[in-house]
Structure 1
Amino acid sequence: MGPCIIALVLSLSGTSAAPLFREYIGAEFNGVRLSDVPINPGVEFHFILAFAADYDSSASPASSTDGIFNVFWDTGNIGPSDISSIKSQNSNVKVALSLGSDTVRGTLAYFNPASIDMWVANAVTSLTSIIQQYDIDGIDVNYEHFVQGSDNNMFSQCIGQLITTLKNNGVISFASIAPFDDGDVQRNYMALWKDYGSVIDYVNFQFYAYSRSTTISQFENYLNQQANNYDSGKVLVSFSSAPSKGGLTPDNGFFTACSSLQSQGMLNGIFTWSADESKANGFEYEIQAQATLVGSR
């Protein structure tokens, strides 16, 4: 996922009492801490740690591990004590762990299991250990690369069984997926949604993957298209303030679009990517996004 993104979040399991705001953090190793980020007490706030990947953290180049996950976020600034502290100081904060990512130390992070059963067994064991060590509440699935010609049933069954098992074991309480409008990506995530949509709570759709010339009306049309693709789910809309990313930006009408969505009853939450990028500008868009949510109640 690219830098400084904000997305509207809808919950499959129902709307919480407080509107939902989510923030990716830790991918860029620039020293950002959980405590740096402004937290509005009127929202439910999810930090999403970026990333954990089923890749060997010691190999060069990184190599896949068939479901044995390792930590790749900035643990020097976001460790167990930091998570414990932010939660104790803010009762509205939860923490999620994002799986996959675009790259691992410069290597494209492919979803590439040898078998469903082995991958799921390894993933359940390794992720349970990480989740319990860091006091994590949920997971986010953010794979962006798939082996050419791979069977989308493999992705659906591996991820679907993983989420189901972690929930049934009481290890996590929520899960999200982060697709974008690419043929191979959509093919895999829509297969997962068809088979396991009932255990997926949020769809963090990467609308910033669209053209940077996106207009408000196009943005709303894209949302409607993805709401149809992930039928009966609640789809997130997103923007990025990074020059390298596209979509509808904060400076070109994103919050105007939010007001339109509010009037249609479609604004149920916002998430940002990422705290790492937003640190330089004082988290101005995070502050505005949370204020927008609180004002929508």
Structure 2
Amino acid sequence: MGPSLLQTLALLVFQALIITSCAKSGPKNSNLFREYLGAEFKQVTFSDVPINSGVEFHYILSFAIDYTTASSSPSPTNGKFNVFWDTDNLSPGAVAAIKAKHPNVKVALSLGGDSVGDGESAFFDPSSPETWISNAVSSLTQIIQEYNLDGIDVDYEHFKTKPDTFARCVGQLITTLKKNGVVSFASIAPFDDEEVQRHYMALWKGYGDLIDYVNFQFYAYDEGTTVAQFLRYFDEQSGNYGGGKVLPSFISDGSGGLAPDGGFFTACSKLKSEGRLYGIFVWCADDSKGLGFKYEKQSQALISISH
């Protein structure tokens, strides 16, 4: 005898609940803490930054840029990346030492950034996309292996190419580095600017499954952002990068967005209560050094697995 109408209806309701539950499932709270360092040459070292053993800690070296370094007026190199961070204090030996001392530490490098040389904008400007991809894979593999790095972050903020070209070049770069086992994670660092968003959302549309974290620059919003505004911004960007781990962020000196002493941790606590605090990232250790890294300590305490 077949199932009764009541049994059939009950089964359909159960299946609908399962489907709904699966649809709502996604990233959960995380103990990930990430911090950029090295771009401002303030002699900050890895060991300066306090490391909570209850977090997964990512240093992000800033920046590797596909520009020349040998002149007073750097120019694009079509994908041949050079190191532009403070190598005196953030050397391959320093990376090895901090990773040996703290097993919860990983180190990545970030690409691009805002400027190069004496404040000139660092443009994404490939003269030949296919050659750019080849050169980028080769030059970055060499740097990553020399420094024994774990991941890559993409922080281009200025563009002289269309979004689909940016998406193809950077997407293929990430694809190849991951396929070759050169990096184990990748992130992007967009902010709320129309041109910037067009480029990164094109990249996300084509290669979002390869991007592990979205380091959204919430500190690029206006200074004095309120908790309520921040949470609305977070919802908006979570929609733009659907399914991604969008990380809340602050700038050390509080000069933009929701300041660390202006409600940032209140907002993060609410996200945590909702299961949406996928980590926290900070710009940047160079500035935090003069503040005694107090906000780094507070961030890590909030997300620590021992908390």
With the length of structure 2 as denominator, give the TM-score of the two structures: 0.89
The counterpart of 2:74, out of the listed 62, 68, 91, is: 62
Instruction: State how 1:118-133 maps to structure 2 within 5 Å.
Output: 118-133=131-146
The offset of 1:59, in angstroms, is 2.0
AA partner of residue 19 (structure 1): N
Deviations 1:252-286 (A, max 9, x none): 10011111111111112111111100001110000
d(CA) in 1 for partners of 2:27, 2:210: 12
Matched, 1:95 2:107: yes
d(CA) in 1 for partners of 2:243, 2:203: 14
Instruction: State how 1:1-297 maps to structure 2 within 5 Å.
Output: 19-105=31-117, 106-147=119-160, 150-242=161-253, 245-294=255-304
d(CA) in 2 for partners of 1:28, 1:213: 24
Unaligned runs of 5+ in 1: 1-12
Count of residues paired in the alignment: 281
Contact 1:226 / 1:235 at 8 angstroms: preserved in 2? yes
| Higher alpha-carbon Rg | 2
SS in structure 2 of the partner of residue 265 of structure 1: coil
d(CA) in 1 for partners of 2:245, 2:304: 19
Unaligned runs of 5+ in 2: 1-25
SS in structure 2 of the partner of residue 176 of structure 1: strand
d(CA) in 2 for partners of 1:241, 1:224: 23
AA partner of residue 51 (structure 2): I
SS in structure 1 of the partner of residue 152 of structure 2: strand
d(CA) in 1 for partners of 2:252, 2:284: 10
SS in structure 2 of the partner of residue 253 of structure 1: helix
CA RMSD, 1 decimal: 1.5
Runs of 4+ in 1 over 4 A off after TM superposition: 13-16
SS in structure 1 of the partner of residue 155 of structure 2: strand
Percent of aligned pairs with the same amino acid: 60
The offset of 1:86, in angstroms, is 0.3
Contact 1:262 / 1:296 at 8 angstroms: preserved in 2? no
SS in structure 2 of the partner of residue 123 of structure 1: helix
Which has the bigger relative contact order, CA under 8 A and spacing at least 6? 1
SS in structure 2 of the partner of residue 163 of structure 1: helix
d(CA) in 2 for partners of 1:189, 1:97: 18
SS in structure 2 of the partner of residue 164 of structure 1: helix
The offset of 1:241, in angstroms, is 3.2
More helix as a share of residues: 2
AA partner of residue 155 (structure 1): F
